[in-house]
Amino acid sequence: DGGITQSPKYLFRKEGQNVTLSCEQNLNHDAMYWYRQDPGQGLRLIYYSQIVNDFQKGDIAEGYSVSREKKESFPLTVTSAQKNPTAFYLCASSPPLRLAVYTGELFFGEGSRLTVL
Amino acid sequence: RKEVEQDPGPFNVPEGATVAFNCTYSNSASQSFFWYRQDCRKEPKLLMSVYSSGNEDGRFTAQLNRASQYISLLIRDSKLSDSATYLCVVSHYSGGYQKVTFGTGTKLQVIP
């Protein structure tokens, strides 16, 4: 079955540590996204990537880094510079814009819940 | 002003009731509109796209008013399983990139 896989589902980190969240998709989608969700604040865009070896900062990129070495993979690193990293992190992807049947929806992974101790 | 605004609720309604959610957006360049459903501690899932002519999917009806920049979702005959948070989502394309903006969501609790 095609889909987006995020791991780990739950992660605990000590202050000052970097952690990397994995996101893999086998949907052959070009674009991939990372969002952060905090209670009562909706989803906020951290980084996005339209093609391999290219990515752009979203609205809240400070303290995060990404890479896009393969079409299928878009890992997110939460660095020690991120002041309040405890959150629910969601990875999403979308098909090529040129796809006639594409309605514009995003396809989400199940999320990774990060807690800083 | 937030780009997408929703009443956070919660809306507590009895089974069988009809409930309506509203959403306003500020960017007149918005091109695509959606309602997503998010269950507690889960990822959002697409409920339905919203078209200018309005569209219906079973008990769910979505409406779009571009002039007023307003989107609505109507749920008829509410079921217990409809309890969730409903996210209003708008997007537009710029420089080949689809910019997607989420509302903070409206929480619905259907009561037996």
Separation between Cα atoms, residue A38 and residue B8, nearest integer Å = 14
| Per-residue CA distances from B90 to A24, B14, B36, B74 (Å) | 25, 29, 11, 18
Q: Which residue is listed with tokens 């990139």? A: B97
Separation between Cα atoms, residue A61 and residue A27, nearest integer Å = 25
pLDDT digits (tens, 9 = 90+) for B69-90: 999 999 999 999 999 999 999 9
Residue B26 Cα, gap to closest chain A Cα (Å): 16
How high is the pLDDT of residue A41? Answer: 79
Mean pLDDT of chain B: 93
Q: What is the pLDDT along chain A (117 residues), one digit of tens a residue?
A: 679 999 999 999 998 899 999 999 999 998 999 999 998 778 999 999 988 999 999 999 999 999 999 999 999 999 988 889 999 999 999 887 665 556 678 899 999 999 998
Average pLDDT on B25-44 reads: 93
How high is the pLDDT of residue B77? Answer: 98
Considering only CB atoms, A31 lies closest to which of B4, B46, B98, namely B98
Q: Which residue is listed with tokens 């605990």? A: A12
Within 8 A of A105 by CB-CB distance, chain B residues are 34, 46, 49
Best interface-test mutation with B: which of A5, A21, A105, A108 has the largest number of B CBs within 10 A?
A105
For residue B21, pLDDT beyond 60: yes
Report chain A residues touching chain B, CB-CB < 8 A: 31, 33, 35, 40-43, 45, 48, 50, 56, 88, 90, 94, 97, 103-106, 108-111, 113
